[in-house]
Amino acid sequence: MTSVRPCDVLCVGDVVTDTAIDLIPSDSTTTLPDEDGDWLAMRLGAKLPFADLKIFDAVGNAANAAVACTRLGLRAGIATDVGKDDAGQRIIARLDEQGVDVGLVHVHPDQQTNHHFVLRYGAERTILVRHHEFDYRWSGPTALPRWVYFSSLSEHAGAYQHALAAWLDDHPEVRLAFSPGTLQIAGGVAPLRAIYRRSDVVIMNREEAVTVTGGDHADVPDLLRRLHDLGPTRVVVTDGPAGAYASDGDEHLRLPPYPDPAPPVERTGAGDAFASTLVAALARGETWRTALRWAPVNSMSVVQQVGGQSGLLTLVELKHLLSRADERYEPTPS
């Protein structure tokens, strides 16, 4: 299957079905504080109550980004892999319903579609992840997109990533945004060095930046510099409720979060909303500073609902919220 109409943004990465399980705090569940973040603890052998479960088809970093871009008025496509099973067919149908071009979805006859389990505990979540070993093959679209948004893939996709990097080198007019997934970060820089070097913009959170660069968590300017040393033109480090930091190589900026109208319901998809909205703004021709202002608005909206796509905004909705922003909601030198 190949795409024949050019996309503004082609999103590349694994797609999954999520089953979200809403745990009920009890004597058998708790959180344990740690300097690197709280732990979710469960009593071994206990029967744990849960309040609800929801199934979300066609989610994951690339799918969330593609849906975000379509809602912001762009033509978005996705290059991904699914099994020839009910879940795979539901994913294709769901993406098509959302206006995402599914011409580069590769269906594997003898494989299962990825399925993750999200354990929700208050506004936080812990995800049980398994990526199937698809026979990943990059062929590229017949009509060149203006941007490629590259994100989470299985640890088995090394050859696919190299093929993508080579294709990007053959098409320098295509701009690249890279928001690495958990397994890509765990695999280290070396397998992705060509991707980092080719990227117009790299986006990741503060903890991920520490892992990737080996830098000091307390020294954000140094994290930005270390990311630049990998080759990208612009870099962004998000920091949850503290906002985000960005650099274009000449100027380091700090951006506050867009204020939450209510306590977050769930944080799934917040990072995807931020990164994809930043890229969507750039794809629409907005300036770097404007793109930085757009990104936290969609991130704020997503955490007000369950799931990574329910709260994604249309362009009209996003601009309306921006018009109501406090005058202090601006990137400032850091």
Torsional sign, CA 228, 248, 333, 203: negative
pLDDT in tens, 249-290: 999 999 999 998 998 888 888 999 999 999 999 999 999 999
Q: Is the confidence at residue 2, as pLDDT, over 50? A: no
Q: Is the confidence at residue 3, as pLDDT, over 70? A: no
Tell me, what amino acid is at 313?
Answer: L
Burial class (CB in 10 A: 0-12, 13-18, 19+), 143: middle
Question: How wide is the angle at C-alpha 56 spanned by C-alphas 52 and 59, nearest 5°?
Answer: 140
pLDDT in tens, 71-91: 999 999 999 999 999 999 999
Q: What is the mean pLDDT of residues 42-61?
A: 89
What's the rounded Cα separation, in Å, for the pair 41 and 168? Answer: 44
pLDDT of residue 139: 85
pLDDT of residue 164: 98
Percent helix, strand, coil in the chain, to 5, is 35, 25, 40
Q: What is the pTM of this model?
A: 0.92
Closest of 110, 116, 117, 54 to residue 82, by C-alpha: 110
Asked whether the beta carbons of 283 and 201 are under 8 A apart, the reply is no
Question: What is the longest distance spanned by two Cα atoms in the chain?
Answer: 58
Q: Is the confidence at residue 4, as pLDDT, over 60? A: no
Q: Is the confidence at residue 300, as pLDDT, over 50? A: yes
